[in-house]
Structure 1
């Protein structure tokens, strides 16, 4: 593990310290002037976390390995004619939603997309384009991977241009110059390979997106995780086609979140503006000052939290420990310390849904005290049973505090302390658990606007208008 330079307090600060808008502007693909930096930025940050703190990020599908292999087989079997026919058969809609499989939820015998559910009580028509490991057509979704397969087939045996090859060489030199201390050679090679592939496929991806937009003719597109840069070219093209692009806040905003925190002048640079959504819908007024991306901000509220609060029946049973698996051994040790200090309470450990690869390790160490992801208990259900919540950096910290549940911060090495939250170690020295906060409704309104439906309707009327399909 590489020790971080003392002048950098955390990995994202290392990334932003070397971001120079005037230098990064040069590194763009020949096709459409798509810039390379937004596309690789988040991956570089994750590599810095891995090298500096031993934290390994990798989003995981909800599907098992067999289903992923089936998905890969069916994807590779798609022909150009099938893709064009599938896109060509789509009906027009008011709103197109580019989503992740992680936001799909089982309800009875059907699957729904959590973002699409937001618009259920509005007059606007919607369609989901999903990054998926299961066949999305079963649920009325469009398979986003069709776009990427289209590019792969069209670009087959296409050679990269001399100009793009030179730009990629220069860009790799820039990355090596500033970040090679924290990024291994294998990852450097992976970045180069990705950029070379993109150089030949970008024109064909745009052709597929153009067909998708012309066929569905949306007035508004919602893109999940838009700010992280991996969808930068998609955002630019949608805006070029006259589609208004929006993103809904899905997590905390702070100087550790790469999608919303940039080096001096980068977020303001004219060349970066096409890669930001037009609109960013935040949870409450409090979050506005924490957002440093481009576009306009609108207060929406946290819809999932608000809906859960409506049916919230608080019956505390256990101490809930939530982890993103930053340090598995530390979390397990802390859980056992809690068991010893508070023997009259059960301890339940819940891991982030993208970290299921650690399930066996937690289950072996904690047995019945580990909430297995497959048991289907939602976060809202877990919070309703939580006498106390202990969590690493996560939205859970705000969701639990907004419900008045005593909340403790399990600090990760480089993360700043949160002034309004006590540290997890303090709970180990308490003889009894603290009570629920009496002024929790005031706290709730600070974190989350309670008028999400009217806020959403007002925004949609401005963004789309009254004319609906």
Structure 2
């Protein structure tokens, strides 16, 4: 599909200007563009490509009530664990939990934690206000208490000087957007970005103190940080580097040439100073993924532990393939529901149509449709997607890692080639389709639906050996 809408490469020209490196915190000297860039680009991407629901929204007022409910339990848990330390520290978002043998297991981070149990500790965020206990990984604390203190510092320490420097940075970015691309950002969105960024700037001194204290107590030599390339982790990366600790991001989901967190304009990418706000290493699922991004970091091929383990289980438990599985993107659930209904009207009962909510929207969707059905559309209730793959004949979505996870497990994989998908995947190995009628034609075509890439390029084998080699490199060669 051709689109006249700008690619990410064109959007990145906005930051291709050395003056973005002149905006600094007056107290710490830290660069401020990392605190704004992802949200700024996502406001633009949202305006251009998302028609039903924006990518950036105001935080829910109910989060304070949820924090008060969860915080006491988290404090008791952390106190019970005492002081945890180890050569390897994993900082996780808290997403990715599923139950295995009656205990919670994090598919993104716990495989790495179990690989070197005695040397590894984990600190996690809280997702959907769910504390995943009891869990397999016993050497885990939660970041929420520090997160609350950092957020309070941002609110209490905000001053007019912080407003002025963020306003200046926003004004510069807005003018370049208009002059280079002819695009304008609404005053409402500028105000939203201002309100989000000012507290981030105001809390930098306190945040630096928290990070230094935390890292000194845990004493790691290597930190694996989920989403480490995202700008909001820039200060953590910088402090970690200041302390002589190596930082790596294990791949946690979809990355591509259309992903703003992993692609940079030359002025930013070539800056030695900006590189201090990024991890040293990226631990990719396979060579294909690593080739998609231009972040100025060292790229390692590790593999995908969860895919490897679940694939073993699926190949030994063959089920009937009766489903068409649709993967929502976490933003625009309504368009997937519309596609699902269109498919039902065309397939004449040959397959069951199952719509899987993204983890970001799972709680809301389950509350809105408690019966688990919307007419004849089935809402997927499986927490782990590999259970859903086990009954899927075909899988489809726009921007989803699960399309790749289906390779070798699902007969037909098709990419819904909307402008949003084309933006996110400038190149991809899948059969594309435009609408429900086109989808049905493609799944009935024997040649369509097979990924045009070697499976090992996406999912490298022997993740444990690959990870061991990386750990040996970091802990033995670098620190000898």
Q: Which interval holds the TM-score relative to the shorter structure?
A: 0.7 to 0.9
Match of 2:36 in 1: 40
Match runs of 1:29-428 below 5 Å: 29-53=25-49, 54=51, 55-57=53-55, 69-72=65-68, 75=71, 89-114=82-107, 115-122=109-116, 124-132=118-126, 133-134=129-130, 141-151=140-150, 158=157, 160=159, 162=161, 166-179=164-177, 181-312=183-314, 313-315=317-319, 316-324=321-329, 327-342=332-347, 343-356=349-362, 357-359=364-366, 360=368, 366-367=374-375, 369-372=377-380, 375-403=381-409, 405-416=411-422, 420-424=429-433, 425=435, 426-428=438-440
Quote the offset at 1:270 in angstroms. Answer: 1.6
Quote the offset at 1:250 in angstroms. Answer: 2.0
Say which is worse superposed, 88-97 or 136-145, in terms of deviation.
136-145
Which whole-Å CA distance do the structure 1 matches of 2:22 and 2:80 have between them? 35
TM-score by length of 1: 0.83
Quote the offset at 1:153 in angstroms. Answer: 5.8
Say which is worse superposed, 276-285 or 422-431, in terms of deviation.
422-431
Is this contact kept in 2: 1:50–1:56, CA < 8 A? yes
Say which is worse superposed, 198-207 or 458-467, in terms of deviation.
458-467
Match of 1:23 in 2: 19
Deviations 1:328-363 (A, max 9, x none): 444233222322332221111112111233453797
The alignment partner of 2:104 has SS state of strand
Say which is worse superposed, 329-338 or 262-271, in terms of deviation.
329-338
Q: Note closer, same or farther for the CA distance 1:274–1:87 as it changes in structure 2 (3 Å cut).
A: farther
The alignment partner of 1:247 has SS state of strand
Match of 1:9 in 2: 6
Which whole-Å CA distance do the structure 2 matches of 1:432 and 1:461 have between them? 49
Q: Runs of 4+ in structure 1 displaced over 6 angstroms?
A: 64-68, 361-365, 439-442
The alignment partner of 1:231 has SS state of helix
Q: Note closer, same or farther for the CA distance 1:419–1:214 as it changes in structure 2 (3 Å cut).
A: closer
Q: Does residue 464 of the first structure (1) align with residue 475 of the second (2)?
A: yes
Unmatched tracts of structure 1, length 5 or more: 1-5
Q: Note closer, same or farther for the CA distance 1:86–1:201 as it changes in structure 2 (3 Å cut).
A: farther
Q: Note closer, same or farther for the CA distance 1:37–1:370 as it changes in structure 2 (3 Å cut).
A: farther
Is this contact kept in 2: 1:71–1:134, CA < 8 A? no
The alignment partner of 2:387 has SS state of helix
Is this contact kept in 1: 2:248–2:279, CA < 8 A? yes
Q: Note closer, same or farther for the CA distance 1:161–1:45 as it changes in structure 2 (3 Å cut).
A: closer
Deviations 1:206-263 (A, max 9, x none): 1121111111101111111111211111111111111110101122332321111122
Is this contact kept in 2: 1:321–1:350, CA < 8 A? yes
TM-score by length of 2: 0.82
Quote the offset at 1:432 in angstroms. Answer: 3.6
Quote the offset at 1:299 in angstroms. Answer: 0.8
The alignment partner of 1:251 has SS state of coil
Unmatched tracts of structure 2, length 5 or more: none
Which whole-Å CA distance do the structure 2 matches of 1:442 and 1:361 have between them? 38
Deviations 1:42-87 (A, max 9, x none): 21222223322324236999xx998872424665999xxx99x969
Deviations 1:3-41 (A, max 9, x none): xxx86534x345312112411100111233222212112
TM-align CA RMSD: 3.7
Is this contact kept in 1: 2:87–2:221, CA < 8 A? yes
Q: Note closer, same or farther for the CA distance 1:154–1:317 as it changes in structure 2 (3 Å cut).
A: closer
Say which is worse superposed, 119-128 or 204-213, in terms of deviation.
119-128
